[in-house]
């Protein structure tokens, strides 16, 4: 490579760090689009998997499923779909990407053993959202300002609705272990040597499931939903003590605004339904009679304001200040009274001496 080529490569590489100057490579039918800056999907998945603190006995199962060819394909195409949606709209390519996302998601759905589907797909949307977010931060480090709370909210809502058809709880991303992402990014100089992992198939995951109970898998799913750490976590030493944890508190004033939405019991994932429609496969679930119910959904959070916890802390601070001022004032008065009594005593002694001399 000549000097001119090296200089051009350096310029192109610097441009690639900014999302505004990045050019979308274009959709290809038979091949997945590579991630920007030569990022490897398995390495990003591995980074996110480690941040979840899964139990050791189920880590291999989840890892093999997350790193399967279908899961990696869903991740890469979802990354580019969201890239186009947010920064370089291209409806035709987005449609092509969505077709392939549906195909690969159904392949992943069939890959996961039946008795672990509920547990796996309870945590998959959140993990998929995380790995897409990490990919954007890694690919475009000079455009971090664009990947704000609104960006994360939109991404999480999209992925959850694609997979489950339901919006997640507001600000689900607040439970992400973002601190671990910042300290172990894939492009750092101290990159973990174990991050180079092979994309795996279904055989290893099925074999590993034979020695793992379904309850253990569900327990990890519950952790992902509730934000609780498992007790025998691989990174148990990193878990803060109870005294160091922060209890979530509500804003003072009106609470979040909710609305009633229609929900169909027995419905399918939108990606699965789209796959069936795209391939003209009879949808047995849509033909059968299913019960429709209403559910409550939070659609607007209250504006940012001091929380009840903030008010309690401020009240305690003011109380301590008032108590301190009162103590200082009381001591001042006591010293003043003591000085007056001393002065009075001295005057009384002088008066007695004066009377004694007159007599």
Residue ranges of the domains in the chain?
Answer: 9-234, 306-359
Does residue 212 contact residue 61 with C-beta atoms inside 8 Å? Answer: yes
CA angle 84, 85, 86 (to 5 degrees): 95
H/E stretch holding 292: strand 292-300
Least confident of 82-86, 142-146, 164-168, 201-205: 201-205
Q: What percent of the chain has pLDDT over 90?
A: 28
d(Cα 208, Cα 216) in Å, to the nearest integer? 13
pLDDT tens sequence across 134-178: 999 999 989 888 998 899 999 999 999 999 888 887 778 888 887
Q: Please give the structure tokens belonging to residue 104.
A: 């690969």
Q: How confident is the model at residue 74 (pLDDT cuts 50, 70, 90)?
A: very high
What pLDDT does residue 101 have? 95
Buried b / exposed e along 20-46 (16+ C-beta atoms within 10 A):
eebeeeebeeeebbebbbebbbbbbbb
Given a cut of 90, whether residue 348 has pLDDT beyond it is no
239 pLDDT above the threshold of 70: no
Q: Using CA atoms, how far apart are residues 116 and 64, in angstroms rounded to an integer?
A: 13
For the entire predicted model, the pTM comes to: 0.62
pLDDT on residue 15: 52
Return the SS3 of 254.
coil
Quote the pLDDT of residue 214.
40
């Amino acid at each position: 490579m000549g000097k001119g080529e090296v200089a051009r490569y350096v310029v192109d590489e610097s441009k690639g760090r900014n999302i505004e100057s990045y050019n979308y490579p274009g959709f290809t039918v038979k091949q997945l689009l590579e991630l920007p800056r030569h990022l490897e999907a398995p390495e990003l998945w591995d980074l996110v998997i480690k941040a979840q603190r899964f139990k050791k006995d189920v880590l291999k199962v989840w890892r093999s499923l997350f790193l399967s060819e279908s899961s990696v394909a869903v991740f890469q195409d979802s990354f580019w779909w969201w890239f186009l949606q947010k920064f370089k709209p291209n409806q035709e390519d987005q449609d092509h990407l969505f077709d392939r996302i549906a195909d690969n998601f159904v392949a992943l759905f069939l890959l996961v053993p039946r008795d672990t589907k509920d547990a796996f797909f309870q945590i998959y949307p959140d993990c998929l959202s995380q790995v897409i977010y990490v990919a954007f931060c890694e690919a475009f480090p000079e455009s971090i300002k664009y990947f704000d709370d609104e960006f994360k909210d939109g991404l999480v809502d999209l992925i959850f609705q694609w997979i489950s058809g339901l919006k997640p709880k507001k600000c689900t991303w607040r439970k992400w272990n973002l601190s671990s992402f910042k300290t172990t990014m894939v492009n750092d100089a101290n990159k973990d040597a174990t991050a180079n992992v092979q994309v795996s198939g279904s055989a290893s995951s099925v074999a590993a499931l034979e020695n793992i109970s379904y309850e253990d898998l569900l327990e990890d799913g519950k952790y992902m939903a509730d934000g609780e750490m498992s007790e025998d976590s691989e990174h148990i030493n990193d878990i803060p003590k109870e005294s160091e944890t922060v209890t979530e508190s509500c804003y003072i004033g009106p609470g979040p605004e909710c609305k009633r939405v229609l929900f169909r019991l027995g419905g399918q994932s939108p990606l699965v339904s789209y796959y069936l429609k795209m391939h003209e496969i009879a949808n047995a679930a849509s033909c059968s009679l299913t019960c429709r119910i209403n559910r409550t959904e939070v659609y607007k959070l209250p504006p940012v304001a001091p929380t009840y916890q903030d008010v309690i802390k401020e009240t305690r601070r003011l109380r301590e200040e008032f108590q301190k001022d009162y103590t200082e004032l009381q001591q001042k008065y006591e010293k003043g009274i003591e000085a007056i009594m001393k002065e009075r005593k001295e005057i009384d002694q002088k008066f007695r001496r004066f009377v004694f001399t007159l007599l």
